[in-house]
Amino acid sequence: MEELNPQPEELVPGDSPEETADGALPQPLPEELEPVLEALLFTTTSPLSLKRLSELTGGLEEAEILGALNGLRTQYAHSQRGLMLSEVSGGYQLATKPDYADWILALLKHRRKNPLSPALIETLSIVAYKQPIVKAEIEAIRGVDTGAVLRTLMEAGLIEVVGTKEVPGRPSLYGTTEVFLKTFGLRNLEELPSLGQMKELFQRELRKPATSEEISDTGATK
Amino acid sequence: MEELNPQPEELVPGDSPEETADGALPQPLPEELEPVLEALLFTTTSPLSLKRLSELTGGLEEAEILGALNGLRTQYAHSQRGLMLSEVSGGYQLATKPDYADWILALLKHRRKNPLSPALIETLSIVAYKQPIVKAEIEAIRGVDTGAVLRTLMEAGLIEVVGTKEVPGRPSLYGTTEVFLKTFGLRNLEELPSLGQMKELFQRELRKPATSEEISDTGATK
Amino acid sequence: MSVLYTPKFTLPVFEGPLDLLLHLVKVQEMEITDIEISRITAQYLEALQTMEALQLEVAGDFLVMAATLLNIKLRMILPQEASTEEAIPEEEIDEILSTQDLIRKLVEYRRFKELSATLREFEIQNKGVVYRTQAVMSVPGAKSEIPRQDIRILYDAFSKVFRRIRTQPQHTVQKERFTTDDKLVELRSRIQLGHHLNMNRLFERCTDKEEVITYFLAILELAKLREITIAQAGSYEEIFIAPWNDSQLFSSVEESAPHAVIGIDSIQTNGESISPQIELNSNLADELLSPEITGGV
């Protein structure tokens, strides 16, 4: 979770001595570079590209950063380390070594049983059934801002950008991922319960008094 | 922002007695223990207690784990490391070393960069010291309305409602959170300056009248 | 003479009346336990005036404290018997502070200011200390940090969304968006290209119930015109739409399961009676035909 949300109106404007002006980020000293990179790669929730790492270190040369990353990789190769430098989708990030997956899985298993909140599940279901779909369409259906939820689903690897819609603004089209299929135990998207299978639900609904009203509402709009 | 793992209180280390490891989790070999612990403390989003670490390593002795944790601490003390072993909120977790704040904060755009305002920190200290406490009691001490400040602290995750007081109106009782302990680097609430230490502070102040003015300057200037 | 040193930007911001009082006590070099009420009251009132002069908003809490100070001062000046408690209505006693109460409050408040200062030091020391707040997804060997989920969770969520879409009042406003004729033309062209349409998929892509119904009416119309045939292998199976007498569709469906053949001649659409032969599983008919559509049966 976000540790501290910005609350600008409540905060005293920058009285931290070391803080430099925006944009003028200091460059780490050569001997600081590896630890700084390690701290950055530890903190990030998505892989950081060389370009981004250069920005985050006050514009150091990418070659210099690559050198330090290799240094880190060597450190991690040591058997006493449980972490490794993971290079995924064009960026770098720390990850645990695969050798220790048993214990990591034991830890993750004990996390909350359902880490997907209702908002996440609802958004995911809309993306799953309506993909490819743009944010505005999801928001039209949900009636609420969905930016943060989409980001979380992206970070969790459950959805991804699958293209852009050819309309003004070229908004991103979202779709579900392999991780999504695995998480829900589906071999492919065809295995999503279809509208045909919603029959049961509809019949359950028919037994409830509220339903006939819903249906006649619908009928009236036709 | 919607989170995958909200409510750190549900993840309080050692707080899941019903969830013992299903199946026998293998015990790491002695030489594996440090890397396994490093991987676990990297992955967890909430500090892990010794007890929990013992469960997660197939029931290793806590003494053995403590030994390995000291080994890790020594590794991290090396200047080429950007991480450290943090003992916080009743457990252990990896964290970035404080030395690299500039770069880390540049990465964490949404993180609060400025210190808490005097009103926030003043209220927080009252809650920390007097918890569980209701709003009216806080306001009696501060002498001003504290509703907005409490809301901000709640949003920042620094305090939470821990119950209701059984008096007319059933007002909410507030207490501090794991985020609070992490923000101030406290292992537990006992690490807050005790009343005894407070007296020392007062006496220091009596000898050196400038102190408390310096303090209010810190909050007030710039 | 002001105790507050203008210019404005060096003016300390007081968190409240107690904060201001503490400041005055210190500036006047008084002992907190030995406050001279009349002097501090004068200073306090002067400070409020300065704040007002600087067009700082003086909150009500500051004014309440001013009244309290004046009250204490008054009671100190007045002859002893006049300040006895009988003179004060019961309910007001709590509200009125004695000098001792005020001192107690100030001491307590100062204690928390001190604790705040300590916390501030801790805060600054820990400002660069960041904990991971999200497990990495790319943990090799642990593909997903999210435990396996039951697909029904997703299905239920979407059902709710679907129901909500259906009942959203906005659709009465937007009823012109879909017309049976448009859908008919669309379906006809797709069928004529030789496609088998999966009806479920067709409906799933609909943005709301109204569109589903429009499609459905168009399908019925095409069936009535004997341009299409509709088939389903059995309960819960996919429903296909194909050109009339499409042998391929029929054989494949018939191989897998016998399908029910039902006549729906009594269905009314557009005021006309239609009697197409539609290959439907009877459960499916129940499912698709809402009471409104089957109203005439």
Strand partners, A48: A92
Whether chain B has a CB inside 8 Å of the CB on C128: the answer is: yes
Asked whether the beta carbons of residue B113 and residue A32 sit closer than 8 angstroms, the reply is no
Contact A39 C290 (CB under 8 A): no
Peptide bond into B28 cis (omega under 30): no
pLDDT confidence of residue A25: 87
Query: At which residue do the structure tokens 């002001």 appear?
Result: C2
pTM metric for this prediction: 0.56
- Best B187, B216, B222 member to test C by mutation, with max C CBs in 10 Å, is B216
CB atoms within 10 A of CB A94: 24
User: Which amino acid type is present at position C270?
Assistant: N
Q: How many Å apart are CA A77 and CA A83, to the nearest integer? A: 9
Q: How many residues does chain C have?
A: 297
ipTM above 0.95, yes or no: no
**Cα–Cα distance measured from residue C65 to residue C16, given in angstroms and rounded to the nearest whole number:** 9
Place of tokens 């880390």: B104
Least CB–CB distance from C15: residue in B4, B94, B119: B119
Answer whether B153 touches A (CB < 8 Å). Answer: no
- E strands, chain C, where? 197-198, 228-232, 239-243, 261-263, 268-269, 272-273, 277-279
B66 touches chain C (CB under 8 A): no
- The rounded average pLDDT for each run of 10 residues, N- to C-terminus, in chain C (297 residues) is 38 79 88 85 87 72 86 78 49 64 90 89 88 58 56 76 62 55 81 75 77 81 79 72 64 39 33 37 40 33
Residue A39: closest C-alpha in chain B: B82
* Interval C129-148: pLDDT, tens: 888 876 554 444 344 456 67
Q: What is the pLDDT of residues C32-77, one digit of tens each?
A: 888 888 888 998 998 888 877 776 666 778 888 888 888 888 887 7
Give me the residues paired with residue B48 across strands: B92
Q: Name A111's Cβ contacts closer than 8 Å, sequence gap at least 6.
A: B5, B11, C135, C145, C147
| Cα of A198 to nearest chain B Cα, Å | 28
| Per-residue pLDDT tens digits for B149-195 | 998 898 888 999 999 999 888 999 999 999 999 999 999 888 888 75
Which of A144, A160, A114, A174 is CA-nearest to residue C154? A114
**Is residue B172 packed enough to be buried (19+ CB in 10 Å), middle (13-18) or exposed (0-12)?**
middle
First and final C-alpha spacing in chain B: 30
The percent of chain C in helix, strand and coil, each rounded to the nearest 5, is 55, 10, 35
| CA nearest to A33, candidates B128, B181, B103, B21 | B103
pLDDT tens, per residue, chain B with 222 residues: 444 443 333 333 333 333 444 457 889 999 999 999 999 999 898 899 999 999 999 999 999 999 999 999 999 998 789 999 999 998 999 999 999 988 998 888 766 667 888 899 999 999 999 999 999 999 999 988 898 899 889 888 899 999 999 988 899 999 999 999 999 999 988 888 875 565 555 555 444 443 333 333 333 333
Q: Which of residues 9-38 of C touch B (CB under 8 A)?
A: 10, 12-13, 15-19, 22-23, 26, 29
Residue C173 in contact with partner chain B when CB distance is under 8 A? no
Evaluated on CA atoms B125, B130, B131, B135, the torsion sign reads: negative
Q: Indicate yes or no: CB of C112 within 8 angstroms of CB of B126.
A: yes
* Pairing between β-strand C228-232 and β-strand C239-243 as defined by DSSP bridges: antiparallel
Of residues C232, C221, C292, the one with CA closest to residue C262: C232
Percent share of chain C, pLDDT over 90:
1
What percent of chain B is predicted at pLDDT more than 90? 50
Nearest CA to A100 among C141, C188, C271?
A: C141
Side chain identity, residue B214: E
Amino acid at B217: D
Q: Name chain A contacts of B10, Cβ cutoff 8 Å.
A: 112
pLDDT tens digits for range A11-59: 333 333 333 444 578 999 999 999 999 999 999 877 899 999 999 999 9
Rounded CA-CA distance B70/B21 in Å is: 25
